[in-house]
């Protein structure tokens, strides 16, 4: 005969030991763990792999911002590369013209500049829906890089702006390679930003975004200002895009319009869908796919000795095929596939446990 132990009183040590840490503390601890993993990976890999790891980092925050905008509020943006353009050129101009500014200030201003662009775009987007919103944001991605040709002396024209950032402390020169240090800085910046994004997504504001996405009329009747909410989502998403562009410029030492074509914006949106719409874990899988599928396609083109035109378009073709296959097999993306697999394993374990009891 089984007997159950009495439940511990509310103020007892047993009950207190089961209390969970505040979400913010959990997110910070998770970010520190992720940073430790990145540091270890950078130590055991070569410089070329370090560059790819850092590239995944800045794409991650860009895709996470777009996930917040598209997955949580339902606003489709085809111009997110424009906010990366703003962030990249902000860092380039600050480094070249105000070299006394520390790197962290440059990155903060890059994020703020991207946010200002998102605020202006969001004010217009709040009045647009569906294909009209997509078309307006695509026009932003097409038109903004063209400004470099209009203001060649200031923005460097089609060649862009090149610069050098000496961010390593003097004590690490000769100890830690420059690219490895840059990888650490990129991921530290990305993880700090992700802590804020995760807290937004899982907090009251995230619930407000979802309410607007699900039913604007019901959200408005419940007291939510729909237009203001959409603008705020654009603002936060653009801040992430500006930071991503600033980190890209910091890593590569250049800001050029050729890096921010409409194809970049479309690739970011495809990464959101591929990883899992509305999931920040999906943003990670999408960023990894964005970097490594292109790298593997380039390696394949080199191995097959394809001509230049085919080799240049092969990564897009491969990425498109993989996107179609994943969406057909897992409509909720890679993260949705993992969730489905986890559910199947859980049900299988429960059925096995029930069978053993009987």
39-77: per-residue pLDDT in tens? Answer: 999 999 999 999 999 999 999 999 999 999 988 888 888
Residues 6+ apart with CB under 8 A from 298: 311, 314, 315
- pTM summary value: 0.88
Cα-Cα-Cα-Cα dihedral sign, residues 230, 233, 239, 241:
negative
C-beta contacts of 337-346 below 8 A and 24+ residues apart: 338/281
Could you report the per-residue pLDDT of 171-182, keeping only the tens digit for each? 888 888 999 999
**Residue reference for tokens 């490895």:** 180
Structure confidence at residue 19 (pLDDT): 64
User: Alpha carbon 57 to chain centroid distance?
Assistant: 8
Surface-to-core class of residue 245, CB atoms within 10 Å of its CB (0-12 exposed, 13-18 middle, 19+ buried): buried
Tell which residue, 74, 336, 64, 332, has the closest CA to residue 214. 74
Q: Please provide the average confidence, as pLDDT, over all residues in the chain.
A: 85
* 234 closest CA partner among 59, 74, 61: 74
Q: Residue 254 in 3-state DSSP? A: strand
The Cα 114–Cα 112 span in angstroms is 5
Mean pLDDT over 18-25 rounds to: 78
Lowest mean pLDDT among 1-5, 88-92, 236-240, 296-300: 1-5
Is it the case that residue 4 has pLDDT exceeding 70? no
Instruction: Please report, rounded to a whole number, the percentage of residues in the chain having pLDDT higher than 90.
Output: 41
The string of pLDDT tens digits covering residues 230-286 is 899 999 999 999 999 999 999 999 999 989 988 898 889 889 988 888 788 989 999
């Amino acid at each position: 005969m089984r007997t159950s132990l009495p439940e511990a009183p509310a103020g007892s040590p047993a009950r207190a030991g089961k209390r969970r840490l505040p979400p913010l503390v959990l997110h910070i601890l998770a970010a520190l763990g992720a940073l430790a993993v990145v540091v270890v990976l950078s130590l055991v890999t070569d410089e070329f792999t370090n560059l790819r790891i850092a590239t995944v980092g800045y794409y991650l925050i860009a895709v996470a911002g777009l996930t917040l905008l598209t997955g949580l509020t339902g606003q489709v943006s085809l111009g997110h590369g424009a906010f990366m353009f703003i962030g990249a050129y902000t860092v380039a101009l600050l480094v070249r013209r105000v070299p006394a500014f520390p790197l962290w200030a440059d990155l903060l201003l890059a994020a703020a500049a991207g946010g200002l662009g998102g605020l202006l775009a969001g004010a217009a987007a709040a009045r647009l829906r569906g294909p009209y919103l997509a078309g307006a944001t695509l026009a932003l991605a097409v038109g903004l890089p063209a400004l470099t040709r209009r203001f060649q002396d200031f923005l460097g024209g089609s060649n862009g702006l090149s610069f050098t950032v000496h961010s390593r402390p003097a004590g690490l020169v000769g100890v830690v390679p420059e690219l490895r240090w840059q990888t650490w800085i990129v991921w530290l910046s990305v993880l700090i930003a992700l802590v804020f994004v995760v807290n937004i997504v899982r907090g009251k504001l995230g619930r407000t975004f979802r309410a607007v996405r699900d039913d604007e009329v019901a959200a408005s009747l419940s007291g939510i200002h729909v237009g203001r909410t959409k603008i705020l989502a654009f603002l936060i998403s653009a801040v992430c895009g500006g930071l991503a562009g600033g980190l890209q410029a910091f890593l590569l030492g250049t800001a050029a319009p050729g890096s921010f074509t409409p194809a970049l914006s479309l690739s970011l949106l495809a990464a959101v869908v591929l990883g899992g719409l509305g999931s920040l874990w999906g943003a990670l899988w999408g960023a990894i796919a964005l970097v490594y599928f292109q790298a593997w396609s380039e390696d394949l083109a080199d191995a097959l000795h394809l001509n230049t035109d085919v080799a240049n378009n092969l990564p897009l073709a491969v990425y498109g095929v993989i996107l179609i296959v994943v969406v057909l097999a897992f409509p909720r993306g890679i993260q949705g596939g993992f969730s489905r697999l986890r559910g199947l394993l859980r049900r299988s374990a429960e059925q096995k446990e029930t069978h053993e009891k009987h």
